[in-house]
């Protein structure tokens, strides 16, 4: 699923670069589209109401990951644990990271 997040929104295109009708999608294309939808939904469910209003119109899971999570994402990539990390663990780690950032911001004020 993380690969789908990294690759952005997945809409199958024909050779001319136009969207393919769903009836013409291959099984792999359907699977990638579903994985993006699942990743998008999981991330949306993990957001607070304020964050949700900022990103509700984004179509891909990759667009939802905010800049403040980039250091955490970089750490995940460097540790090469992405294949072993469940979606629930990833969301939990990102929530903890966000709470730590909020505490840091509160301390600065």
| pLDDT beyond 80 at 91 | no
Task: Report d(CA 56, CA 14) in Å as an integer.
Answer: 28
Number of structural domains the chain divides into: 1
Q: What is the pLDDT of residue 27?
A: 93
Domain that holds residue 32: 2-108
In the chain, what is the greatest distance between 2 CA atoms, to the nearest angstrom? 55
Q: What is the pLDDT of residue 6?
A: 67
Q: What is the pLDDT of residues 12-66, one digit of tens each?
A: 888 888 889 989 999 988 888 888 788 777 777 777 787 777 777 776 666 767 6
Reduced to 3 states, what is the DSSP secondary structure of residue 59?
Answer: coil
Q: What are the C-alpha distances in Å from 50 to residues 2, 7, 25?
A: 25, 26, 36
pTM for the whole structure: 0.47
The predicted structure's pLDDT at residue 23: 92
């Amino acid at each position: 699923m993380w690969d789908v997040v990294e690759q952005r929104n997945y809409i199958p295109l024909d050779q001319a670069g136009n969207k393919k009708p769903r009836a013409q999608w291959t099984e792999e294309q359907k699977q990638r589209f579903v994985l993006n939808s699942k990743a998008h939904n999981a991330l949306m469910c993990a957001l607070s109401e304020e964050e949700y209003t900022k990103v509700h119109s984004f179509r891909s899971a990759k667009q939802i990951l905010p800049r403040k999570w980039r250091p955490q994402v970089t750490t995940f990539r460097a540790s090469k644990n992405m294949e072993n990390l469940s979606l629930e663990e990833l969301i939990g780690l990102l929530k903890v990271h966000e709470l730590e950032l909020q505490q840091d911001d509160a301390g600065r004020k």
